[in-house]
């Protein structure tokens, strides 16, 4: 998948645990783990909104596009 | 959920009973050429459980009988093979329902197999008597007129088979969508 999720980096910057974020945004720790591992097929705007709000960041800080053909 | 389990148990019992009766009847016909149950009383009660050639193969069975061939052995056994397969698939499907599995890959496979067997049954109904007559002609040299006979019920079962086959595809697609939906965070 050319879209990379940099949630780990942002969590480390904010010194926040995955479980804390999962609880704060109202999703399960397993689902957050799926998102972090890049196995998710899609991210809801509501989830992205909640993540950005709690981590005080922009969507671009979490999502990154890497051209695999380049 | 309780209703589904209860009804699945009931249908499973009926399917297993039906399969057992079919298998015992077929075995008795093959071994001794007698029906499983034949009861006639003076009051007019008539009970019979056994194998007989039915549907669009009846004319072919009559022709076999008039030439001293046993129609049950030549056509009857062949006629019950798809029914046994359908019975086994339905037993598998209702066992899944009994266990609370409704929309898995196994369920969609059952539907696809069911549809495929119904379509195969239509093809078999069309060609089997002619094929049997060809074999008899080749073995014994008796010339039997080959007839392809298809009735309206055969066409209905073909349409039902195709519909069930498509339902199998749709269920497979639904399962994929369900899996993808689980990965939407």
Backbone dihedral angles phi then psi of residue B6, each to the nearest 5 degrees: -65, -50
Task: Quote the pLDDT of residue A1.
Answer: 66
CA distance B174 to chain A (A): 16
Alpha helices in chain B (DSSP H): 2-32, 58-66, 71, 77-98, 105-140, 152-182
Contacts of B185 in chain A (CB under 8 A): 27, 31-32, 34-35, 40, 42-44, 47
> Are A44 and B185 spatial neighbours (Cβ–Cβ below 8 Å)?
yes
Check pLDDT > 80 for residue B48. no
Mean pLDDT of A9-33: 90
Contacts of A39 in chain B (CB under 8 A): 183
Nearest CA in chain A to B177: A41
Task: Quote the pLDDT of residue B160.
Answer: 95
Nearest CA in chain B to A27: B185
Joined together, the tokens standing for residue A62 give: 């979490």
CA distance B181 to chain A (A): 8
The number of residues making up chain A comes to 70
Check pLDDT > 90 for residue B52. no
Closest CA to B144 of B76, B62, B72: B62
């Amino acid at each position: 998948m050319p879209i990379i999720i940099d949630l780990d980096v942002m969590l480390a910057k904010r010194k926040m645990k995955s479980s804390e974020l999962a609880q704060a945004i109202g999703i399960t720790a397993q689902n957050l783990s799926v998102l972090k591992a890049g196995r998710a097929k899609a991210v809801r705007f509501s989830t992205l909104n909640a993540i950005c709000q709690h981590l005080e960041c922009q969507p671009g800080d979490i999502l990154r596009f890497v051209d695999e053909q380049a | 959920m309780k209703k589904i389990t209860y009804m699945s148990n009931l249908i499973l019992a009926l399917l297993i009973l039906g399969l057992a009766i079919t298998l015992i009847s077929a075995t008795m016909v093959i071994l001794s050429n007698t029906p499983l149950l034949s009861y006639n009383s003076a009051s007019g009660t008539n009970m019979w459980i056994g194998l007989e050639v039915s549907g669009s193969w009846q004319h072919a069975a009559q022709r076999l009988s008039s030439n001293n061939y046993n129609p049950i052995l030549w056509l009857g056994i062949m006629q019950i093979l798809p029914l046994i397969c359908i019975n086994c698939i339905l037993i598998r499907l209702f066992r899944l329902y009994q266990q609370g599995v409704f929309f898995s890959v196994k369920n969609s496979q059952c539907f696809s197999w069911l549809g495929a067997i119904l379509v195969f049954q239509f093809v078999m109904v069309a060609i089997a008597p002619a094929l049997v007559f060809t074999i008899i002609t080749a073995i014994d040299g008796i010339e039997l007129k080959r007839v392809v006979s298809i009735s309206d019920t055969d066409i209905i079962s073909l349409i039902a088979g195709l519909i069930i086959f498509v339902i199998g595809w749709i269920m497979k697609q639904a399962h994929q969508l369900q899996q993808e939906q689980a990965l939407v965070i």
